[in-house]
Amino acid sequence: MNKITNTRVFGLSSKLFSHFKTTIYIDRVSNMKEITTLVLLDLATVLREANLVALLDKLRLCKFHHHDYNFNDVKLNPDKIFWLCEGCK
């Protein structure tokens, strides 16, 4: 049997990390905070694997957030890219 995966694409809007995108399995999460954490963990993994230590240090100082959508919107819109932004508040 072919299992359908419940995934969504999230991207970052940021001075340093704009256009980074990753896919999150939303069945593993229950709120936006958990999604944000997973997106940032994915980016941190990419930076660590590329030995980009200075960027990893800068990532730790960033505060990402979402606006104009909530977890229910994420569940209901499988084809949309959801952006997390930093620095606009």
Tens digits of pLDDT across the chain (89 residues): 444 579 999 999 999 999 999 999 999 999 999 999 999 999 999 999 999 999 999 999 999 999 899 999 999 999 999 999 997 75
* CA distance linking residue 65 with residue 36, whole number of Å: 7
The pLDDT value recorded for residue 4 is 54
Integer distance in angstroms from the first to the last C-alpha of the chain? 46
Domain boundaries, the chain: 7-86
Enter the pTM of the model: 0.91
| CB burial readout 21-35, b (16+ within 10 A) else e | ebebebeebeebeeb
pLDDT at 8: 97
Beta bridge partners of 32: none
